[in-house]
Amino acid sequence: MSSPVQMMSAREQLAFFAKFIKPHKKVFIWGLVFSLIYGVSGGAGMPFVVNYVFKNIFEDTSHAYTIWEIVGVAATLPAIFIVNGVFGFLGAYLMADLGLRVSVGIKQALFEKLQTMSLTFFSRRSTGDLLTRVQNDAEKLQFVIVEVAAECIRQPLQAAAAFGYLIYYSVVNSEIVFIFFFLIGIPLMMIPVRVIAKKLRHRSVQIQETTATMTQQISENLGALVEVRSFGMEKEQSKGFERTNQLAADFMLKQKKYERIQQPLSEVIVSLFIAASFVYCYEKGIGFDVFLTLGVALYKIFDPIKRVTKLIGTYNQNEASVYRVREILDMEPDIQDAPGARPLPQPEGRIGFDGVTFAYETEAVLKDVSIDIPSGTVCALVGPSGAGKSTFANLIPRFYEPNAGSITLDGHDLKDITLESLRSHIAIVSQTPVLFNDSLANNIRQGRRDATDEEVIEAAKKAYAHDFITASPRGYETLAGERGGQLSGGQRQRIALARAFLKNAPILILDEATSALDSESEHYIQLALEELTRGKTVIVVAHRLSTIKSADMICVFDQGHIVATGSHSELVTTSPLYRMLCERQSLD
């Protein structure tokens, strides 16, 4: 579940929307102008036609009107509706355009913000919650702008125009009591709005949280198809999804209950005031023409207000989305360039850890780690699972920030080097490299975006990937599939190596790069690694110790500490833990 939603003030919400509307202010202004014309023509037009056009024609017995004059007078009514309809359409269309533009802007801003966040941020949030914020919440804000913002401009203008006409006509006919009907009616109409708003907001938060949970369940299920089927988890997964799905439906039904009851309550209040005005006119002997004109004016005031109260309810349903989107956009990345950070020229590759401590949550994973890795060194990290090996490697490209201590590259604190520059000098090949659903050529080209086709092919050859690529019907244009699903594990690994060859970074991190491979794939990958690691500073995270016997330096990790360093031959005799690990793998 996401964190409790803290609602923003009206000023904060306006400032939030204004930020995204500003680039499209021309669309907004024209939508506002057309809505203004719509509101004035709708609010004052009808009462004016009823009183000053139709009434005068019927009461003027001194003049005989021709049929064409009558047709001309009659045409004023559809003319009012035509003007009202045309400008209402234009205003609504421009607001829909604005809503789409703002939605696109918000989604883009959210996506770009996520690109700046550290791995710590993602480890503390579910993928489902983030997907819901980028997709569902952003689209709800589009609905807020299209429906709520547009109508909250048009309807108050219509009500204001009708109210202006009501004041004028009430004063002319000395019947200002109608003004009091209006002034008393507004607060009464707002009572159910305020009561229901809290209910709608609460249910909205519950719906969004369960929607995020459902998205996470779907994402996890689709990402673990083999595990679900091999362990017979289909029914269990279906039942878990059914519970969340039903819970979301229950919350939606409760939300609809409050949403649907709001408008009938407003309509009842409006009808009561229209009925009261009828009783008043009858008791005072006021003519039907005056009652009709004032009644139409009252309706033209209360009807927009009724619509606005409904829209307020709609906004309350989506208010949580405003907060959820803004919560992400307002976050400062916990890892970013420090003031004065500079790009680092081609580094030698000397890495230093000085008293580094790091914890994902509260318990430290690395504890006061200090070590110097000379440039051009192949440094292997070994130790039991959870000892801190991968964390040590991930701190070098600043995927995480140490809680204490410092890390240097060629004597420069990593915080003084721009992130872009630092990471441009580091290539990473992980145990399960992720490929994008793009051509194999473009997946390799991620190592260097401006690489030519010839350079891509050369990198593939060095990674022993060229043969299986050209054997495919589409060659280098073959799609890798989602997460590289069209390739075998060994093929995915060789594509990842080709990326590293193309990048040709002076620092190379290999995180279990040869584990879980068949013997043929491992053979080719080992051949590729021999060339790839030549002359580079290499950090190797390995459980299979046979792959790192020839490493220049081996660091033995245990419970967050480096407990021993040295070559394989040295550690076998000096480190009990390393010797035990070797014996477990029958490694001499």
Q: What is the pLDDT of residues 230-281, one digit of tens each?
A: 667 778 888 888 888 888 888 878 777 776 676 677 667 767 777 777 777 7
Please state, in angstroms and rounded to a whole number, the distance separating the CA atoms of residues 382 and 393: 12
Q: Which pLDDT does position 263 carry in this prediction?
A: 65
**pLDDT higher than 70, residue 190:** no
Beta strands in 519-560 (DSSP E): 537-541, 553-558
Neighbours of 262 (CB within 10 A): 23
Of 356, 288, 278, 303, the C-alpha closest to 561 is: 356
> Which residues neighbour 3 within 8 Å (Cβ) at sequence distance 6 or greater?
327
- The rounded Cα 575 to chain-centroid distance in angstroms is 49
* Mean pLDDT within 109-133: 83
Say if residue 129 is exposed, middle or buried (CB neighbours under 10 Å; 0-12, 13-18, 19+). Answer: buried
> Can you name the residues that pair with 540 across neighbouring β-strands?
380, 510
**pLDDT higher than 50, residue 44:** yes
Neighbours of 29 (CB within 10 A): 11
Model pLDDT for residues 353-401, shown as the tens digit of each residue:
999 999 988 889 999 999 999 999 999 999 888 889 989 999 999 999 9
Q: Mean pLDDT, the chain, as a whole number?
A: 79
Q: Which residue has the higher pLDDT, 226 or 363?
A: 363
| Tokens matching residue 464 | 């022993």
CATH class of 351-584: alpha beta
Say if residue 7 is exposed, middle or buried (CB neighbours under 10 Å; 0-12, 13-18, 19+). Answer: middle
Q: Which pLDDT does position 473 carry in this prediction?
A: 85
> Can you name the residues that pair with 427 across neighbouring β-strands?
508
SS3 category, 367: strand
What is the rounded end-to-end Cα distance, in angstroms, of the chain?
50
**pLDDT higher than 90, residue 555:** yes
> Can you name the residues that pair with 404 across neighbouring β-strands?
357
Selected from 1.10.3470.10, 3.90.420.10, 3.30.9.10, 1.20.1560.10, the CATH number assigned to the domain covering 10-329 reads 1.20.1560.10
Q: Which pLDDT does position 183 carry in this prediction?
A: 67
Neighbours of 180 (CB within 10 A): 10
**pLDDT higher than 60, residue 422:** yes
* Mean pLDDT within 53-69: 64
Which contacts of 434-437 are long-range, i.e. CB under 8 A and separated by 24 or more positions?
434/483, 434/484, 435/480, 435/481, 435/483, 435/484, 435/487, 435/492, 435/495, 435/496, 436/480, 437/479, 437/480, 437/481, 437/482, 437/483
Q: Which pLDDT does position 169 carry in this prediction?
A: 66
| Tokens matching residue 112 | 């770009």
Residue percentage of the chain with pLDDT more than 90: 15
Of 472, 243, 206, the C-alpha closest to 320 is: 206
Provide the residue type at 202 as one letter: H
Q: Which pLDDT does position 492 carry in this prediction?
A: 87
Whole-angstrom CA distances from 582 to 383, 511, 548, 565, 575 are 10, 19, 11, 15, 11
Domain coordinates of the chain in residue numbers? 10-329, 351-584
Full-model pTM: 0.69
Whole-angstrom CA distances from 212 to 114, 121, 127, 199, 282 are 17, 17, 8, 20, 58
Q: Which pLDDT does position 10 carry in this prediction?
A: 61
Contact at 8 Å (CB) between 207 and 259? Answer: no
Q: For residue 2, name the pLDDT band (cuts at 50, 70, 90).
A: very low
Q: Which pLDDT does position 3 carry in this prediction?
A: 45
Q: Which pLDDT does position 1 carry in this prediction?
A: 42
Whole-angstrom CA distances from 339 to 112, 329, 531 are 21, 21, 38
